[in-house]
Structure 1
């Protein structure tokens, strides 16, 4: 189980050297077989595998193949409506395509086609290397994940919970501090769940009333981000005492509880603090104020009062006591008063008290503040990957103020990073400008590669992008899904986001350029799949630039209620060679499991040959037909938002570290520390970046 997690997260395996000599044919056969899946072994891993017995190696190999197939989607049977796709669709008459579709809609039976023998795969594939790992490295990765400076995904939480369950001694994976408060609630909840903690172990993590609330939510299987309400479970008396003890030790208790007043009132009805005589007096006072609406002056109320008077200098004086809040309100303060000097100077006085993630975001915001974009894009807190785009109507701010703030953030961060260990000679790949810093991964989906929303990935060589979708209907939580029809679509737009054409079940092929859909399958009792091929040069030649890949739940089930649903894309140089689904050509695969009915996994920029990672979910659009045509407005808005997104990037982060604790070199071969897309520390090392570099 540990290697399953390690392989998925780091593409490494823990293999303990044996005392045997494995025949070379076993290694060679295994490597040839996983080559079909797009993977190979590193030299170091091969050397250790050769010391294993045949029995040990065979057991490891079978588990490895299962894990690799699951990662890329090769663990299911892909049977498209047209088995000789794409050629079969491109050559069929309109009448044949129409009749086949109608017969399928009426009978749910697929048309009978003979699958012709396909020419072997002609594409040369760059194999992904599986390296030799170690228990210490695995533990450090989990420690980094728990100590991350940003929110983590649901899959991250599953991995952490598994480690907490497996380990008797958690000292190697539990950090002294858990800076991200959402992670505190989840981790402490898991420790209590598996009876691996007491108040002495967990009290150091719980410093605010909201920390205790997140713990209660975690113990109730709710959303620790607190973006949605949770139905609290009933707690046993020892649990109630523990929660009240944790709450009693928290400072600034009442003001913190007022932020989530109604939830605390509901929780108070479960905890019953008044039952305990001469104990938890602070808790009793807090609940009394909340329940009876007694007056209580809060810091936020004082700040709002001063801002209504438009006294930015006094507001800045107040906010100096809470530096993080000062940073978040900085733009608002600068919009109120033209004389920015007092505010900027007071911000500089407290900058060293502000957390690294906030400083990085402030630096990026004011670094691009003067640029005029049509939209401002936000990713709301919660477990669904949603984006909100609003018109950018922010008034201008003095360029001098923006520049001063950027320099304040930069100098503060360099001073902070200089206290970390030396990096020596450092190479920073300029392509990292295209990758967004990982601050919030709470709604990230499980994927072959973990990527931050808004990042732009270079397309490998090849002219054909092949999207794929696989889903299955069945029983979930004791209830059958009924018939499930998921539709794969690709919508093309020009450089100004004007509609060009779409490929979907309503339009199986283009008469303008090379693009085809494998056929609309409307039920999936044994699993079903759909594919779309797009020939990049022909789309660009016709005037297309952006392609939005989308999935629509035609039968209205949310993806979270399906047994399985995933999508991805392949790069094919010779689309009519090899099988329709060739595992070795899979570039990315992503689980579709959000509580929504429309998903946008990626957007393609065919002119720049980039894949923009979206992992977004849209709510049902109010149109009668749930198809791609009925969701044009939402898709264009999301497309414009994601392609104009301004977020802190990894290049700037790593350059700050290089300036603070290293010497920048121009050649990766001469560097002791490499930050790059494909070697050294990469954008996919998210837990390490969040723990060690956003520090």
Structure 2
């Protein structure tokens, strides 16, 4: 499968069909094979016989993306209808040790000692993998029928030329988007730049600094002699150096100058010489003084650079630590600090607006803050203005909150309600200034008079995706805290699959029931295999050949339990009980299926029923992919990793998880939704809102064919932020 074809399928839902004839005897079986993994075509009439053969790699790719790289089997027969009647793990191991008296303690002897099937026991927790039995069970699974339900992936057949054109457009949208990009998306951009070049990507349109750094990193890798002609600034070069040396591109820490050849140093010096922002070196004096020692500018014809760096060495002004200068100013003179931020770091003014507002104690300070916000509104990124407005509107009502690190780690922030609250009249003045700034920035993007806009119902449940950097590389790409409907399935089947490399590993799939106040009401895990609503498939403690655990949630029974006992949320968790970190495992991924036929009479794993699946990464102790809201019948995307104590499990870490998911659920009160953004554009740009999609010229929705498909958000982030 060609790399461009793989990227086209993953990012745009496109499949290249080679030029050929169409024979019903060939096309019909092809369509059926794709349907078996949940893929259907929006234009099946365009299929050709040339897809036969290449389709096998694509189907294998789809299976892997839906978590189905192997054949799955449950640990015990009868799952999920029949649980083992006895499974006291402690008692079982005591008896097994007694059975081992006088034996050689080989792996086979220990496995036989743990086998109680002759007396009617089938244990289901703390079981080392029996390779022979696992292989036999997998062979038996292949003979079972599939589930009747399909979670469709709808794609479109195109010719190779159209694929290349669409990929160029997508690449431009990614670079010009006003938000961070997932690591797997960045990797795909590297492939595209190498294969297609950068024609059509205007460097000046790339505003978000992480995306600019990625762009310059790729130019450096594939065509570094082009760098002096890109308009790269001194700060762009500093961030490039930081990225090449594995440092922090935020420039809050010293930047290591990478080892460069003389030819490479010539490129850097020529880039500085050509920059119309050369004076920016004085803003980062300390960093540039350190780099100056390795540039050897005197070797090159660069009079502007030589003169500027000579002045820099003599200067005593150091602007490298703006945050510390700002904090010192804020402690002494609120108004001076506000003016400093507006002059040098308007983005910081927007990001810290609620804090600055809460600290403003008098009319003069409050007027200065409103004035600074108004004066610098054209230099504050639109996404920052939107976030500031949402934070002011909430005004400290929603806690706990959560902050996400660049590696996907999560830090809950627990405060009393009303923390940093802003007085009502002052808050209204600030919100008025923010709204005016947002409307002005949106209106400047172009006139929509004469356009009719349709917004799919439910987009108020999807948060504006501006922190996708460390979100899971799954089938669905949404912001944490967003909600999507569960659908009409009878059972949600959770799964985790892993295969160890060279050390015994033990991952544990669990699910916690919480009430409306996020208090623990019940749990199902390896210590409690069922509660009448949820059923666990058993606990494997090793996976040399790949192992799986499943957990079924019967939605009808869960709804009754919600009414009877006050359940509100079900929270799946994957614990790393023992062994290497997720990222050190040969394979590790999780997800969930929507099942109608969740019985032992059909396959336990069916890729066509997978609603979402993604790899498990990082070095944390447990992962929380989502929660199921029984009241609204929605999946709320959590997608976080947290550290815990060794041998992490529900009983010791459940309360921390409850705090975390409550913070993620509360994000809808402090962030802007996609529907909010769409409506702002409709109003500010003079469009007409319609409720009939067929009458619309611009559409917002969750599927292919929309102008803005919010599940593939790159175009939305590029055009509207």
Classify the TM-score, shorter chain: 0.7 to 0.9
In the other structure, the counterpart of 1:485 is 506
Aligned partner of 1:148 among 153, 174, 177: 177
SS of alignment partner, residue 205 of structure 2: coil
2:655 equivalent among 596, 619, 633: 633
* Structure 2 counterpart of 1:447: 474
CA contact (8 A) 1:383 1:443 kept: yes
Q: What's 2:522 paired with?
A: 501
Listed one character per residue, the Cα deviations across residues 452-491 of structure 1 (whole Å, up to 9, x for unaligned) are 11111111112321111111222xxxxxx42222221111
Residue correspondence of structure 1 range 286-365 to structure 2 within 5 A: 288=313, 303-312=326-335, 314-322=336-344, 323-336=346-359, 337-339=361-363, 340-365=366-391
Contact 1:81 1:110 in 2 (8 A): no
Instruction: Give the Cα separation in 1 of the matches to 2:594 and 2:696.
Output: 32
- Structure 2 CA distance for partners of 1:119 and 1:305, relative to 1, 3 Å: closer
Between 1:610-619 and 1:232-241, the stretch displaced more is: 232-241
Question: C-alpha separation between the residues in 2 aligned to 1:129 and 1:341?
Answer: 53
Cα shift readout 1:156-206 (whole Å, capped 9, x = no counterpart): 111010011112x4213555421111122222112221236423333x1x2
- Partner residue of 1:617? 641
**Conservation of the 8 A alpha-carbon contact between 1:223 and 1:383:** no
Q: Which residue number corresponds to residue 137 of structure 1?
A: 166
Q: Deviations over 1:414-445 (max 9, x none)?
A: 33333425371111234111111121221122
Identify the range of structure 1 (151-160 vs 108-117) with the bigger mean alpha-carbon deviation.
108-117
**Deviation (angstroms), 1:319:** 3.6
Which residue of structure 2 aligns with residue 73 of structure 1?
67
Kept in 2: contact 1:437–1:649 (CA 8 A): yes
> How much has 1:304 moved relative to structure 2?
3.9
- Distance in structure 1 (CA, Å) of the matches to 2:689 and 2:414: 39
Deviates more, 1:403-412 or 1:58-67: 403-412
Q: Residue 223 of structure 2: SS of its match in structure 1? A: coil
C-alpha distance in structure 1 between counterparts of 2:251 and 2:334, whole Å: 33
My pick for the range that moved more, 234-243 or 28-37, is: 234-243
1:12 aligned onto 2:14:
yes
Secondary structure of the 2:263 match is: helix
Aligned 8 A contact 2:628 2:635 in 1: yes
Aligned residue number for residue 538 of structure 2: 519
The aligned residue for residue 572 of structure 1 is: 595
2:569 is matched with 546
Distance in 2 between residues matched to 1:277 and 1:692, nearest whole Å? 41
Per-residue displacement from partner, 1:599-642 (whole Å, max 9, x unpaired)? 111122122211111221112x2x34322323223212211111
1:568-601, Cα deviation, whole Å (9 max, x unpaired): 0112233115311111111011111223232111
| Mean CA deviation greater in 457-466 or 216-225 | 216-225
Check conservation: 1:445, 1:591, Cα contact below 8 A: yes
1:54-73 pair list within 5 angstroms: 54=49, 56-73=50-67
Aligned to 1:478: none
Distance 1:580 1:421, change over 3 A: farther
Q: What's the secondary structure of 1:281's corresponding residue?
A: helix
1:91-128 superposed Cα distances (whole Å, 9 cap, x missing partner): 64446998599558575426959857887455443532
Q: How many residues align?
A: 663
Residue 342 of structure 1, CA deviation:
3.7
Cα distance change of structure 1 residues 471 and 185 upon mapping to structure 2, 3 Å threshold = same
**CA distance in structure 1 between the partners assigned to 2:209 and 2:579 by the alignment:** 35
Correspondence 1:179 to 2:211: no
The offset of 1:21, in angstroms, is 2.2
Q: CA distance change for structure 1 residues 147 and 273 in 2, over 3 Å: closer, same or farther?
A: same
Structure 2, unaligned stretches of length 5 or more? 94-110, 116-124
Contact kept, 8 Å, 1:254 with 1:286, in 2: the verdict is no
Task: Name the counterpart of 2:483.
Answer: 456
Query: In structure 2, do the counterparts of structure 1 residues 329 and 544 end up closer, same or farther at CA, with 3 Å as the change threshold?
Result: closer
Contact 2:181 2:468 in 1 (8 A): yes
Alignment check: 8 A CA contact 1:363 1:406 kept: yes
Residue 218 of structure 1 deviates from its aligned partner by 2.9
Aligned: 1:469 with 2:469: no
Distance verdict in 2 for CA 1:179–1:23, change over 3 Å: same
Change over 3 Å in CA distance of 1:184–1:395 after alignment to 2: closer
Query: What root-mean-square deviation, in Å, do the aligned CA atoms of Structure 1 and Structure 2 show?
Result: 3.2
Q: Is the 8 A contact 1:184 1:215 kept in 2?
A: no
Gap regions ≥5 residues in structure 1:
475-480
| Matched-pair contact (CA < 8 Å) for 1:214–1:224 | yes
Distance 1:650 1:326 in 2: 24
**Residue 499 of structure 1, CA deviation:** 1.3
Counterpart of 1:34 in structure 2 is 34
CA distance in structure 2 between the partners assigned to 1:564 and 1:200 by the alignment:
43
1:666 CA displacement: 2.1
Report the equivalent of 1:648: 672
CA displacement at 1:404 relative to structure 2:
3.0
2:47 corresponds in structure 1 to 49
Q: Distance in 2 between matches of 1:316 and 1:68?
A: 52
Q: What TM-score, normalized to structure 2?
A: 0.84
Does the aligned pair in 2 maintain the 1:599–1:616 contact within 8 Å?
A: yes
- What SS does the aligned partner of 2:627 have? strand
Partner SS, residue 410 of structure 2: coil
Match of 1:2 in 2: 4
| Structure 1 residue 643: Cα displacement | 1.3
Partners of 2:634 and 2:14 lie apart in 1 by 27
Bigger CA drift: 415-424 or 154-163? Answer: 415-424
Find out whether 1:683 has 2:683 as its counterpart: no
Separation (CA, whole Å) in 2 of partners of 1:529 and 1:520: 9
| 2:720 counterpart of 1:693 | yes
Q: Does residue 1:193 correspond to 2:187, yes or no? A: no
Counterpart contact for 1:146–1:174, Cα < 8 Å: no
Deviations 1:45-90 (A, max 9, x none): x33323xxx4x3223312321221122122222133125421243x
Q: How does 1:262-273 map to 2 (within 5 A)?
A: 270-271=294-295
Q: Which residue pairs with 1:674 in the alignment?
A: 699
Structure 1 residues 335 and 543: CA distance shift in structure 2, 3 A: closer
- TM-score normalised by the chain length of structure 1: 0.87
Secondary structure at the residue paired with 2:355?
helix
1:82 lines up with 2:80 in the alignment: no
Please say if residues 131 and 545 of structure 2, whose CA atoms lie closer than 8 Å, have aligned partners that are also in contact.
no
Q: Distance in 2 between matches of 1:296 and 1:201?
A: 27
* Structure 2 counterparts to residues 93-242 of structure 1, below 5 A: 93-94=86-87, 99=92, 108-109=129-130, 112=133, 120-121=145-146, 123-133=148-158, 134=162, 135-167=164-196, 169-173=197-201, 176-195=204-223, 197-202=225-230, 204=231, 206-209=232-235, 211-220=236-245, 224=249, 233-242=258-267
Structure 2: how far apart are the matches of 1:127 and 1:297?
52
